[in-house]
Amino acid sequence: MISVGIVGATGYTGVELLRLLSAHEGVEVKVATSNSEKGKVVSAVFPSLRSIIDLEFVEHDSKQLNSCDLIFFATPHATAMHHVPKLLEQGCKIIDLSADFRIKSPDVWEHWYEVKHACPELLPSAVYGLPELNRVEIKSANLVANPGCYPTAITLALLPAIKNGLINAKDIIADAKSGVSGAGRKAALASQFSEVSESFKAYSVSGHRHLPEIAQTLSNVQQDNDVNLTFVPHLVPMNRGIFATVYVKPMGHSIDMQKHYADFYAEEKFVDVMPEGSHPETRSVKTSNTCQIAVHPGNSESQPTVILSVIDNLVKGAAGQAVQNMNLMFGLDEDTGLFAPGLVP
Amino acid sequence: MISVGIVGATGYTGVELLRLLSAHEGVEVKVATSNSEKGKVVSAVFPSLRSIIDLEFVEHDSKQLNSCDLIFFATPHATAMHHVPKLLEQGCKIIDLSADFRIKSPDVWEHWYEVKHACPELLPSAVYGLPELNRVEIKSANLVANPGCYPTAITLALLPAIKNGLINAKDIIADAKSGVSGAGRKAALASQFSEVSESFKAYSVSGHRHLPEIAQTLSNVQQDNDVNLTFVPHLVPMNRGIFATVYVKPMGHSIDMQKHYADFYAEEKFVDVMPEGSHPETRSVKTSNTCQIAVHPGNSESQPTVILSVIDNLVKGAAGQAVQNMNLMFGLDEDTGLFAPGLVP
Amino acid sequence: MISVGIVGATGYTGVELLRLLSAHEGVEVKVATSNSEKGKVVSAVFPSLRSIIDLEFVEHDSKQLNSCDLIFFATPHATAMHHVPKLLEQGCKIIDLSADFRIKSPDVWEHWYEVKHACPELLPSAVYGLPELNRVEIKSANLVANPGCYPTAITLALLPAIKNGLINAKDIIADAKSGVSGAGRKAALASQFSEVSESFKAYSVSGHRHLPEIAQTLSNVQQDNDVNLTFVPHLVPMNRGIFATVYVKPMGHSIDMQKHYADFYAEEKFVDVMPEGSHPETRSVKTSNTCQIAVHPGNSESQPTVILSVIDNLVKGAAGQAVQNMNLMFGLDEDTGLFAPGLVP
Amino acid sequence: MISVGIVGATGYTGVELLRLLSAHEGVEVKVATSNSEKGKVVSAVFPSLRSIIDLEFVEHDSKQLNSCDLIFFATPHATAMHHVPKLLEQGCKIIDLSADFRIKSPDVWEHWYEVKHACPELLPSAVYGLPELNRVEIKSANLVANPGCYPTAITLALLPAIKNGLINAKDIIADAKSGVSGAGRKAALASQFSEVSESFKAYSVSGHRHLPEIAQTLSNVQQDNDVNLTFVPHLVPMNRGIFATVYVKPMGHSIDMQKHYADFYAEEKFVDVMPEGSHPETRSVKTSNTCQIAVHPGNSESQPTVILSVIDNLVKGAAGQAVQNMNLMFGLDEDTGLFAPGLVP
């Protein structure tokens, strides 16, 4: 039994962890923290967990965390970095679902997150928790930086092409669309129902924090270290789901992208390369840890190939991938507790 | 291992059965039928089930059904009744999620469903599959009539009050609201996105088919056989969920309805009586088999008590309750495969 | 040309006033206030008004308001009462869309709104702005209290029955449902998209601030001053619309409610009594100032009659009714600027 | 007074025409046709038009159309082409909102619409009804082919760049997103609420019928006749709105795209070039005839410029643009009846 703590358990990522872990036979959630709700029982804040989670929220720096084997941080950025060093010293393993340990360069991180990093010395040893890329390193990691939601969908859509040098890495466009839960569970005018419903918009067109994260991963994978990606995020009036439409230019019209993708992910349990020309929908992976990918070759040599990639931003894009990482770190089957099919409707 | 067939597996109730049963350790789904999609693989119609369900749709009267231990009918009304007699003879057990075996009187059934019943001789032995009412009978039943979605939410909201004679059974109002999946998965103008979204309406105010079903159950429970219920259904622009607001007149202001309800359901795993004055939300039970109920006493003696009741129409209101019934019929723990908490958001 | 000021023009009611008044030929909007956005141009906050409204937000107590013929208050409660006395002295007419002048009794008001009233001496002269009830008084009023959204839908649904003594005034249930814009345009966790979407709930079951407002109006209309109404509000995942399902007990089964309603509202431009048995939808009145009402007699003497009533909460339930009141106060045709049909879809 | 007929008045485009024309002072709608609803009064099908439109649906080939000055076809493709020749002979002017007269080449049209064109001889004289491009020709046209919704949003986003040769016309990507009303008002499984809500998907990635329409317009505008556009449409769970994210490669980093766009559309009433770096939302133009455009230059020379373009698919993308064309054809002010600002929320 892995004893687990969740720091920041009142956000959407936190409550999703509670939901997933309640069905995971190898885990016991011992601590759930929330500075704003401390003292309340979990099920008073989330009646969906009545009779399922019997805990009281404690504050983030509760001593109770010390005795946990593993601690998930489901906090906004710039929180985990203040707690992680001490907890690592206590022997806890850490999976941080926030952005604090995703970027290797403290300068780049500080540029995008506009705050000084509290423990840059930990960045080199933090493992980027995309199992399809770093499975071996994750298994022995003490500190895993769980990828962002957009980066998960887009990186998985590009990995086979970039790794195998199939496309022009300097001409990639990722037009991505996210459900509203990606904005987090907090009072904000911009994500009020009546500001978002029956509308669609792009945001952060001039630059989104997930861009350096994606660029770092792809550049590491690419031999010549030079990936040029345009990334435009959009907001969809739905709760869950990320849809990435990725436009790439194959190095030659004869490259069989479909076959490359199918082969690349053949052994992966959570990446499903659909038949060529498929139209994945976010609902097919809602509540599931799967990323579904479809390849659409251009009709002529001058047209880009279109890669479509869908995930549930709260599962494969956050809590589910964190559980997948936990399974790897503790020697469990990678899909333990993650069998759920997509929820239709 | 129970071998199972699902007749009509392309509707929302059918695909929900596939989803729930894929996570049920004691069941193997052997047959899934669909007259419209026969010959296609299940996952071509429902990509959410890729790598999870490996079956091809066959037609409703496939001989393959004969070898199943249990057959679920997830068909529109007036279909099951044509197949059930033969299958019972073959030794199959049946859970019918449609309306065909819910009403004891063929005349009443034929009045509301406007078609002649094909096997009225089976009606007396069909057990109404509300476990909280008929658990013992369900255990030994060969033919279970799974309750409708509205009747489940409303009957559970009224059972303690009616059974214990706490309210005026002749003055009950059930104002109920349903998500759109209740209308079924079929091409219909009235449930097009742009006909339903950003709107709210009542329907069938002069009489809905679920009224005689609710009335039959409550009248059986009530000693003097005389329940008068006004039932108005409404359509909510959401996929899943039923919310029932039930107005009742207690027989005396001193009756502690909260206590009666809590006691009545104390041992039930799938009925959760919340603290007095709670405001349940349908999302708290989304994907869960739980019915959450809250009691709001009136502010004065002349005011009604308000009972609020929420379920997921596709789970406790259909497929989940069917699995609960299956567990009872086959001697499994009643909650096998039904542990999922509500999905938030 | 009526010169108009809007205090609190950044809320949903405020921007709806801007939208409606921009199409009203007899009005010029001269001042729009917002304490939070002062100094910004209106169209920077609401790009929908680019090239249509050319104003800069000023603060609530701007001297510019003094020169307006009419000032709309579209502020949260307990704001208008601090500004109205001075503005009335300046000769401005006032339409307050908030609750400050709706309740005649300061004690009742202070009980429900939990703050001391700043100018109780104005309450007697404030006219409740429901034109279908108080048209004559509105014409000569200087201070109009624009009705709440729920009270508009429910009162119009009950007026003919109560005024003509057709029903038992002590046994009325109003089960009402509102779109989310009714909660106002402000950062609040409870009305975040992902808290509201794909869910349905009741709220304030033990008592909502609109209850005393409805009760006051109906009791005034009813001869014997004794109306007993149970009112339960619900939240619908849509932007606009109120749907009221009102259950009443006719004084006799022979009363032709449909005829009474049709006659009562025969001359009203903004109340549409639909054919008996109709099922109104909120979308049919979206963006329109119309209230559509349908009457459903019970199937037997013991069953209640069901009155269905729909409005757009931001139009007939707020800004549109305010414009209707303005037209009356300034001697214009009552429907000037209010011709818009419902928006489908 | 222009006397007007609408053929196919029960679709979303048809009812939107009825809504817009009911507020147009220079028009009288004399005939509304519907083969499926003939004999019913309009307001029985659309209660939103009660007391506003007092007509009975007649069938498509009603003789009553002959006496109309102008006939709008709001029918599915391949219908107008069977009626238009006779009506033109009768002296009626025609605005066809379907695709029948948009493509100049019968071969191309027949390839994409998979049916033989009934009157290819009319194609040369049909004017493509994008006023910002063809204003002069529209004024004297008898037959106007009203543009598709995607083509309107995308063409307006590209016109200044293509006309002025600012971009590489062979490397354009248009990632477009549409509300569900674009699929039309008909019973179809794929646009059921529960198939579409809480999900997002691309469709027709291998080729959509609007592609040849966009390509034809842009190629005509471009001197060297060689535009290469990749167009991927997506479905958004909302009723109204089109959002186009267009990626272009400027011919040089020094080109001031913002200034070019602002100058190009300076005199246009219905194209609003927002300040550089703006994030338009579809809701800002909901119910409005305006197209809002924003320009986002790339951060470096190697990155594309992103052009964002939003319209209401039923207004500027269909019925509103048709009214704009009518105004031009009949010598009225181009914006008569089209003043409505966007609807928020």
Mean pLDDT, chain D, rounded, equals: 97
Query: Stretch D240-268: mean pLDDT, rounded?
Result: 96
Give residue C200's region: left, alpha or beta (phi > 0; psi -120 to 50): beta
pLDDT given at position D113: 97
Cβ neighbours for B252, distance < 8 A, ≥ 6 positions apart:
none
Evaluate if residue A58 carries a pLDDT over 90: yes
User: What are the two backbone dihedrals, phi and then psi, of residue B297, each rounded to the nearest 5 degrees?
Assistant: -65, 150
Confidence at B225, pLDDT banded by 50, 70, 90: low
Cβ neighbours for B340, distance < 8 A, ≥ 6 positions apart:
A23, B287, B288, B289
Partner-chain residue, chosen from A179, A194, A206, that has the shortest CB–CB distance to D296:
A206
- Residue-range domain boundaries for chain D: 2-125, 150-312
C181: which chain A residues are within 8 Å (Cβ-Cβ)? 194
Evaluate if residue A224 carries a pLDDT over 80: no
pLDDT given at position C26: 96
Entry field: residues in chain A: 345
Evaluate if residue B261 carries a pLDDT over 90: yes
Confidence at D257, pLDDT banded by 50, 70, 90: very high
pLDDT given at position C224: 64
**Nearest alpha-carbon partner for C179 in C158, C160, C197:** C197
- DSSP notation for B289-331: --EEEEEE--SSTTSPEEEEEEE-TTIIIIIHHHHHHHHHHTT
So what's the ipTM on this one? 0.97
Cβ pair D292:C50 closer than 8 A: yes
Confidence at A240, pLDDT banded by 50, 70, 90: very high
B45 vs D: CB within 8 A: no
Q: Which residue's entry shows tokens 């001269």?
A: C30
What are residue D301's DSSP bridge partners? none
**CATH for B150-314, options being 3.40.50.10540, 1.20.1740.10, 3.30.360.10, 3.40.30.10:** 3.30.360.10
Cβ pair B173:C173 closer than 8 A: yes
Q: How far apart (Å, rounded) are the C-alpha atoms in residues C123 and C131?
A: 18
Catalytic positions of A: 149
Q: How far apart (Å, rounded) are the C-alpha atoms in residues C309 and D49?
A: 17
Catalytic residue selected from C68, C92, C119, C149: C149
Q: Give A287→chain C minimum CA distance, Å.
A: 15
Evaluate if residue D255 carries a pLDDT over 80: yes
Evaluate if residue A300 carries a pLDDT over 80: yes
Q: Give C191→chain A minimum CA distance, Å.
A: 6
pLDDT given at position B224: 64
- Are A62 and A92 within 8 A, CB to CB? no
A111 vs D: CB within 8 A: no
**Nearest alpha-carbon partner for A322 in A10, A18, A1:** A18
| pLDDT (tens digit per residue) in D285-336 | 999 999 999 999 998 888 999 999 999 999 999 999 999 999 999 999 999 9
| pLDDT (tens digit per residue) in A23-39 | 999 999 999 999 999 99
Give residue A201's region: left, alpha or beta (phi > 0; psi -120 to 50): beta
Taking CA–CA distances from C268, the nearest residue in chain D reads D51
Fold exhibited by the domain D150-312: Dihydrodipicolinate Reductase; domain 2 (3.30.360)
Note if the pTM is more than 0.95: yes
Query: Could you tell me where the beta strands, DSSP code E, fall in chain C?
Result: 2-7, 27-33, 70-73, 93-96, 127-128, 143-145, 172-178, 201-202, 229-235, 242-248, 271-273, 291-296, 305-311
| pLDDT (tens digit per residue) in D182-230 | 999 999 999 999 999 999 999 999 999 999 999 999 999 987 667 999 9
Q: What is the DSSP letter of D63?
A: G
Q: How far apart (Å, rounded) are the C-alpha atoms in residues D93 and D73?
A: 11
Which chains reach chain A with 3 or more Cβ–Cβ distances below 8 angstroms?
B, C, D
Query: How wide is the angle at C-alpha B105 spanned by C-alphas B325 and C277, nearest 5°?
Result: 100
Q: Give A8→chain D minimum CA distance, Å.
A: 26
pLDDT given at position B12: 98
- How far apart, in Å, are the Cα atoms of C54 and each of C10, C13, C40, D273, D282? 15, 19, 11, 17, 21
Q: From the CB of residue A299, how many other CB atoms can be counted at a distance below 10 Å?
A: 11
The pair of three-digit structure tokens given for residue A212, joined into one six-digit string: 């350096």
Query: Stretch A62-79: mean pLDDT, rounded?
Result: 97
Query: Stretch B299-311: mean pLDDT, rounded?
Result: 94
Evaluate if residue D66 carries a pLDDT over 90: yes
Q: Decide if domain C150-313 falls under CATH 3.30.360.10.
A: yes
- How far apart, in Å, are the Cα atoms of A340 and each of A215, A274, A310? 31, 18, 16
D62 vs C: CB within 8 A: no
Q: How far apart (Å, rounded) are the C-alpha atoms in residues C13 and B150?
A: 36
- Of A326-335, B217-226, C273-282, where does mean pLDDT reach its minimum? B217-226
Evaluate if residue C225 carries a pLDDT over 80: no
Q: How far apart (Å, rounded) are the C-alpha atoms in residues B343 and B284?
A: 7
What are residue B94's DSSP bridge partners? B71, B143
Segments in B197-256 forming alpha helices (H): 210-221
**Nearest alpha-carbon partner for B35 in B5, B10, B64, B3:** B10
- Are B2 and B306 within 8 A, CB to CB? no
What are residue A94's DSSP bridge partners? A71, A143
Partner-chain residue, chosen from D194, D199, D247, that has the shortest CB–CB distance to A281:
D199
Q: How far apart (Å, rounded) are the C-alpha atoms in residues C121 and C180?
A: 34
C204 vs D: CB within 8 A: no
pLDDT given at position D92: 98
Beta pairing class for A201-202 and A229-235:
antiparallel
Query: Stretch B30-55: mean pLDDT, rounded?
Result: 97
pLDDT given at position C301: 84
pLDDT given at position B34: 97
Q: From the CB of residue B77, how many other CB atoms can be counted at a distance below 10 Å?
A: 18
Q: What is the DSSP letter of A95?
A: E
Largest CA distance in chain B: 62
Cβ pair A193:C239 closer than 8 A: yes
- Return the C-alpha torsion angle A325, A331, A332, A338, nearest 10: 10
Evaluate if residue C311 carries a pLDDT over 80: yes
The pair of three-digit structure tokens given for residue A63, joined into one six-digit string: 């001593």
Query: Stretch C63-92: mean pLDDT, rounded?
Result: 97
At A32, the amino acid letter reads A
Evaluate if residue C313 carries a pLDDT over 80: yes
pLDDT given at position D341: 95
Q: Give D117→chain A minimum CA distance, Å.
A: 25
Confidence at D245, pLDDT banded by 50, 70, 90: very high
pLDDT given at position B302: 85
Query: Stretch A10-35: mean pLDDT, rounded?
Result: 97
The pair of three-digit structure tokens given for residue A107, joined into one six-digit string: 């300068």
Segments in D203-339 forming alpha helices (H): 210-221, 257-264, 320-329
pLDDT given at position A225: 65
Cβ under 8 Å to D: A residues 216-245 = 228, 230, 232, 234, 236-241, 243, 245
The pair of three-digit structure tokens given for residue D258, joined into one six-digit string: 């913002």
C343: which chain A residues are within 8 Å (Cβ-Cβ)? none
- Are B203 and B180 within 8 A, CB to CB? no
| pLDDT (tens digit per residue) in A150-178 | 999 999 999 999 999 999 999 999 999 99
Cβ pair A283:B48 closer than 8 A: yes
Q: How far apart (Å, rounded) are the C-alpha atoms in residues C91 and C68?
A: 9
A43 vs B: CB within 8 A: no
Cβ under 8 Å to D: B residues 165-184 = 179-181
- Are A24 and A17 within 8 A, CB to CB? no
- DSSP notation for B113-134: H-S--S-GGGGGGPEE--HHHH
Which SS3 state, helix, strand or coil, does residue A340 take? coil
**Nearest alpha-carbon partner for A184 in A138, A109, A119, A239:** A239
- Are D275 and D340 within 8 A, CB to CB? no
Q: Give B192→chain D minimum CA distance, Å.
A: 4
Q: How far apart (Å, rounded) are the C-alpha atoms in residues A196 and A183?
A: 12
Query: How wide is the angle at C-alpha D151 spanned by C-alphas D149 and D155, nearest 5°?
Result: 130
Mean pLDDT, chain B, rounded, equals: 97
Cβ neighbours for A22, distance < 8 A, ≥ 6 positions apart:
A29, A49, A52, A53, B339, B341
Query: Stretch A106-112: mean pLDDT, rounded?
Result: 98
| pLDDT (tens digit per residue) in C149-173 | 999 999 999 999 999 999 999 999 9
**Nearest alpha-carbon partner for C29 in C60, C61, C64:** C64
Beta pairing class for C305-311 and C291-296:
antiparallel
| pLDDT (tens digit per residue) in B264-289 | 999 999 999 999 999 999 999 999 99
Cβ neighbours for B139, distance < 8 A, ≥ 6 positions apart:
B328, B329, B331
Class at the top of the CATH hierarchy for domain A2-125: alpha beta
Question: Counting beta carbons within 10 angstroms of the beta carbon of residue D341, is it exposed (0 to 12), middle (13 to 18) or buried (19 or more)?
Answer: buried
Label residues A268-292 b or e (16+ Cβ within 10 Å = b): bbbbbbbebebbbbbbbbbbbbbbb
Mean pLDDT, chain C, rounded, equals: 97
Evaluate if residue C266 carries a pLDDT over 90: yes
pLDDT given at position D192: 97
Q: Which residue's entry shows tokens 């699902």?
A: B6
Query: How wide is the angle at C-alpha A96 spanned by C-alphas A91 and A100, nearest 5°?
Result: 110
Cβ pair C197:A180 closer than 8 A: yes
- Do you find a cis peptide bond into D345, omega within 30 degrees of 0? yes
